Chain A
Amino acid sequence: MNVVVLLKQVPDTTDVRIDRETNTLIREGVPSIINPFDMYAIEEGLRLRERAGGGTVTVMSMGPPQVEASLRDAIAMGVDDAVLLSDRAFAGSDTWSTSYTLAAGIRKRGAFDVVLCGKQAIDGDTGQVGPGVAELLDAPQVTHVRKIELGPDGVAEVERLMEDGTDVLRVRPPAVFSVVKEINEPRLPSLKGKMRAKKAEIAVWRAADLEVDARELGLDGSPTRVVRIFAPEARPGGKVLSGTADEVVAELAAELAAVVKGSQRG
Chain B
Amino acid sequence: MNFTLTEEQRMLRDLCAQIAREKILPVRAELDESGEFPWDVVKVMAASDIYGVYIPEEYGGLGGGVLEMCIATEELSRVCSGIALAFAASALGAYPILLFGSEEQKKKYLPDIASGKKLAAFALTEANAGSDAGAVETRAELSGDSYVLNGTKQWITNGGEAETYTVVARTSKGTGIRGISAFIVEKGTPGFTFGKKENKMGIRASATRELVFQDCRVPRENLLGREGMGFLAAMRTFDLSRPGVAAQAVGIAQGALDEALKYARHREQFGQPVASFQGLQFMLADMATQVEAARALVYLAARAADAGEKSMAKLSAMAKVFASDVAMRVTTDAVQVLGGYGYMKEYPVEKMMRDAKITQIYEGTNQIQRAIIASAVIKESAAKEKGE
Contact = CB atoms under 8 A, between A and B. Distances in A.
A42 to B, nearest CB: 15
B53 A191 contact: yes
A194 B47 CA distance: 12
B8 interface: yes
Interface in B12-57: 12, 15, 18-19, 22-23, 44, 47-50, 53
B11 interface: yes
A188 B50 CA distance: 12
Chain A interface residue bracket vs B: 10 to 19
Nearest to B48: A190
B299 to A, nearest CB: 20
Contact of B8 (A188, A190, A195): A195
B47 A188 contact: yes
A265 to B, nearest CB: 43
A194 B62 contact: no
A109 interface: no
A64 interface: no
B47 A191 contact: no
Which label, helix, strand, loop or mixed, suits the secondary structure of the B interface?
A: helix
Contacts of B50: 191
B378 to A, nearest CB: 42
A117 to B, nearest CB: 23
Contacts of A190: 47-49
Contacts of A192: 49, 62
18 contacts: A188-B23, A188-B44, A188-B47, A188-B48, A189-B48, A190-B48, A191-B12, A191-B49, A191-B50, A191-B53, A191-B62, A192-B49, A192-B62, A193-B49, A194-B11, A194-B15, A195-B8, A198-B7
Nearest to A194: B11
A27 interface: no
A41 B8 CA distance: 27
B73 to A, nearest CB: 15
Chain B interface residue bracket vs A: 10 to 19
Nearest to B49: A191
Nearest to B64: A191
A184 to B, nearest CB: 14
Contacts of A188: 15, 18-19, 22-23, 44, 47-48
A198 B11 CA distance: 10
A187 B53 CA distance: 19
Contacts of B15: 188-189, 191, 194
B9 to A, nearest CB: 11
B94 to A, nearest CB: 17
B11, B12, B22, B23 — most chain A CB neighbours (10 Å): B11
Nearest to B50: A191
A187 B43 CA distance: 11
Nearest to B46: A190
Nearest to B23: A188
Nearest to B22: A188
Nearest to B44: A188
A193 B11 CA distance: 11
Interface string A151-182: 00000000000000000000000000000000
Contacts of B48: 188-191
Contacts of B22: 188
Interface in A183-208: 187-195, 198
B158 to A, nearest CB: 22
A188 B53 CA distance: 16
A126 to B, nearest CB: 28
Contacts of B7: 198
* A-B pairs with lowest CB-CB distance, top 8: A191-B49, A190-B48, A190-B49, A192-B49, A194-B11, A188-B48, A191-B62, A188-B19
B303 to A, nearest CB: 20
B288 to A, nearest CB: 26
Contacts of B23: 188
Interface in B42-88: 44, 47-50, 53, 62
B364 to A, nearest CB: 30
B64 to A, nearest CB: 9
A193 B62 CA distance: 12
Contacts of B18: 188
A190 B15 CA distance: 8
A193 B12 CA distance: 11
A4 B62 CA distance: 30
A191 B44 contact: no
Contacts of A198: 7
A192 B55 CA distance: 13
Nearest to B12: A191
Nearest to B52: A191
Contacts of B53: 191
A187, A192, A193, A194 — most chain B CB neighbours (10 Å): A194
B345 to A, nearest CB: 27
A136 to B, nearest CB: 36
